[in-house]
Chain A
């Protein structure tokens, strides 16, 4: 039978079957499993904690039986075991309240990743060559103890240090305490997109050095200066929840939302008014809005420390008159006045700030200006305004920390001795500017130990790898700095047995501490004892409740805490005394950009990608195949260019361009983005790994490498948005830009010249 007659035949029989089936139930289309025989799988749900960012969201893990291949006493076989199947948000958790972001859901692939390290490894080839051989845990721990004993015997305790990621947890605290008690050098907690500027500004403005929580649920109008609060910054799930409630959670009230930035983010997308601005001038806009409010007496001039911190505040901010602000910011004077009136009319109002706005040399000024605006709104630590999450664990007992740039220069200059380096995440070789020479500094250490579960650009340099359990296989904790109006300590036990011959790093460290010739003294034998000791401070039943709930927090709900009593700064991270003045940060100074404007006409904006943040999640295949919310790109790197700029450069979608700073160049295909300033070239951060599992290696480009080593004035924070670049066309589309939308969507205006 040929194809045509087959189709004809099926069409005829099909039609008659359809006609016959009308009416009588016995003739309806039979399904393969009748309802009565349906037996849904039995699942158990256990709490855990998402380990991917600082938010510390609670997880609800679906656990079911599965056949697991395993090796026992050298014999391979299959055993039935309870394993994690799906991660959902924990509905009762005060931070995420049942929601969970795309990254958090993909965290399950950390446990089941095919390239996960399954046993301790020892370097067998040259350093960095990537050759390792397996060893036993006993031998591995003994080797580390031997190296640390040798350091102590030589009186070179300062030679021990640690580089880790920036997560706030008791795990991080344990590592830091170990280094401090041993007599080592300050630990480095590295985040490319860190929040040191905002913490410092909040210390100066409000006396609380902490990331704010925005009580959007009760806000009537909000203006956001660049903080990607719903996508990649602060506590995105908590704030998305509050954002939804701000828009549609109150009958008859819809909160207004303005968003100011130079490249549109998911947080800016939903804005009632999206305001494109000249990058680095956000603080001027904030003060221009304040100027209008003061001049038109829209709000009472209560301003807290703003008078002391902002030059000219007391005299009505004459320098920030809207017409002058228009020249600096590119936002029209009439529009500034209109925004100011809207914000004043719809109270309570709040101003948010974050992201690239704080990553220029004048970032501290920008943060102080927006803080002053909040003081003018009168909503600091009031419902609908800025809150500071009370801290369930006093975090200021942690040793103070150094920055990666300071570490690298101290090691290179010989002021910090290189002995034993512990690596606990953060991938500093990948996530740093070439100019810092971090790899060279790390390589000066004669002995490097990594606790990570994967080989990445940094752990590839290790001499010893002691792979951790996955977070689902061990105790896990987080200390959310923001995202909740009540104090939260996220804690959970293992939800499944370890798949491989791994060990919990915290327990390994405590074991090492005990075994040293001169032991480092800790009051706990295991990590869960440390966690219990903290939770026990909150009452007798607190520990057992915490284990079943996924953490400790007070019984009152978010809503009660917000509407009943205004949140206070009680127990906040640290309290700084009022500063008499902000010095240079009290007035606008043009952002300093690295590079000659004649040679490098554009500003490079490297932004944390929604999928990979700083690149630490590029090894998860679900996130690689997750379409980017602006471009719909998967498995790719790209360069975003404004349509007008693209025209002047003679490039269009998919064309390959070279983006060069004075430090180097990267090549990637073009995506033409109308939501981007014509003077800015944007690139997502996350791809460009040379050695990070089968899914991320050799894919795309890493723009962090070509960033100039600039800092934000008045702080030691990295000014990651302050590098100038030039762009040159390299070739026609090379097929490396993979867009999901190329499949054809319902868009009004389909893409032209889509690469397939």
Chain B
């Protein structure tokens, strides 16, 4: 049976520490925009931790929510792409095929989660910073869209290993960079088609909900509320 990759984020465990943000940057060769580009809103973070204030001093509450591509089943970014750069793959991921992308940015307009990023500049790494680049992930050039891939390179590597051993990928075998780094283990990744997987169990939790559920995008990420 095909895989259907999904994620659960336990907001009761999340501390807003930004470890996932840095892990993603490191794993996926996300360029550093620098002060000038960042001030024009061009900094790229495939995953961000949103912060919400509630109340007034001294009765204040702060809530955090890590937001990344929700890998929707009914993804608004896909039908608007004139070149099929934004497309659904057989594992249910919203794939972004850089070679096809012509940079219309329709997908970014269509995405209600604001998780797609346009490359306004050619990335550069001041030497020898380029030595830290992950050879498993392509570097995106100016003029294309990029976004979270659920660390598809890690998924592919695990599938290659599993195929070599004539088995399917085991639950917990794949950890995207964000989930791996999380100090409080707030992020769980796995196969939603496997009813026994940890992520399937959490997706059924009464604490769970989908982000902007009413839009009908059918996201594959479940957020578990703390209280």
Contact = CB atoms under 8 A, between A and B. Distances in A.
Q: Do A and B come from one complex?
A: yes
Interface in B76-90: 82-84, 87, 89
Interface string A714-754: 00000000000000000000010010111111111100000
A635 B32 CA distance: 11
Contact of B180 (A88, A264, A635, A749): A88
Interface string B15-37: 11111011101110000111100
B156 interface: yes
Interface string B165-206: 000000000000000111111100000000000000000000
B114 A744 contact: yes
Nearest to B227: A272
Contact of B183 (A240, A247, A330, A743): A240
Contacts of A745: 48, 50, 67, 114
Interface centre among B19, B34, B50 (most CB of A within 10 A): B19
B114 A743 contact: yes
A302 interface: no
Nearest to B58: A276
Interface string A218-245: 0000000000001100001100110110
Given A29-B84, A241-B184, A675 B135 contact: no
Contacts of A583: none
A277 B59 CA distance: 10
Given A114-B126, A622-B32, A14 B82 contact: yes
A573 interface: no
A632 B160 CA distance: 39
Interface string B50-65: 1111011111111110
A350 B84 CA distance: 56
Contacts of B52: 747-748
A617 B172 CA distance: 33
Interface string B142-178: 0000000000010011011000000000000000000
B19 A29 contact: no
Contacts of A742: 41
A154 interface: no
B-side interface size class: 35 or more
Given A247-B13, A277-B58, A746-B50, A112 B157 contact: no
A31 interface: yes
Contacts of A168: none
Contacts of A41: 135-136
A99 interface: yes
Among A7, A105, A756, which residue has the most Cβ atoms of chain B within 10 A? A105
Contacts of A677: 57-58
A266 B17 contact: yes
Contacts of A231: 15, 17
B26 A621 contact: no
Nearest to B102: A10
A244 B23 contact: no
A264 B17 contact: no
A357 interface: no
Interface stretch (A61-69, A403-411, A517-525, A701-709): A61-69
Contacts of A272: 227
Contacts of A35: 156, 159
B95 interface: yes
B212 A68 contact: no
A623 B26 CA distance: 12
B114 A674 contact: no
A108 B10 CA distance: 29
B17 A747 contact: no
B128 A112 contact: yes
A112 B56 contact: no
Contacts of B56: 643, 674
B24 to A, nearest CB: 10
A601 B23 CA distance: 42
Contact of A240 (B15, B41, B64, B104): B15
A270 B149 CA distance: 28
B26 A86 contact: yes
Given A625-B43, A627-B18, A40 B13 contact: no
A446 interface: no
A678 B57 contact: yes
Nearest to A269: B62
A625 B33 contact: yes
Given A99-B19, A746-B50, A756-B40, A331 B97 contact: no
Interface string A512-556: 000000000000000000000000000000000000000000000
A541 to B, nearest CB: 30
A436 to B, nearest CB: 31
B181 A85 contact: no
Contact of A632 (B27, B51, B99, B128): B51
A735 B39 contact: yes
Contact of A40 (B84, B126, B153, B181): B153
A676 B62 CA distance: 12
B114 A746 contact: yes
Interface in A644-675: 674-675
Contact of B184 (A244, A632, A747, A756): A244
B21 A627 contact: yes
B13 A102 contact: no
A578 B25 CA distance: 50
B45 interface: yes
A66 B135 CA distance: 9
B21 to A, nearest CB: 6
18 contacts: A38-B156, A39-B160, A99-B181, A102-B21, A102-B22, A112-B128, A112-B129, A241-B183, A247-B13, A270-B12, A499-B128, A624-B32, A629-B17, A629-B49, A630-B51, A634-B38, A743-B114, A747-B50
Interface of A: 7, 10-11, 14, 17-18, 29, 31-32, 35, 38-41, 64, 66, 68-69, 83-89, 96, 98-103, 105-106, 108-109, 112-114, 230-231, 236-237, 240-241, 243-244, 247-248, 254, 264, 266-270, 272, 274-277, 330-331, 499, 610, 621-627, 629-630, 632, 634-635, 642-643, 674-678, 694, 699, 735, 738, 740-749, 755-756
Interface of B: 10, 12-19, 21-23, 25-27, 32-35, 38-41, 43, 45, 48-53, 55-64, 67, 82-84, 87, 89, 95, 97, 99, 104, 113-114, 126-136, 153, 156-157, 159-160, 180-186, 211-212, 226-227
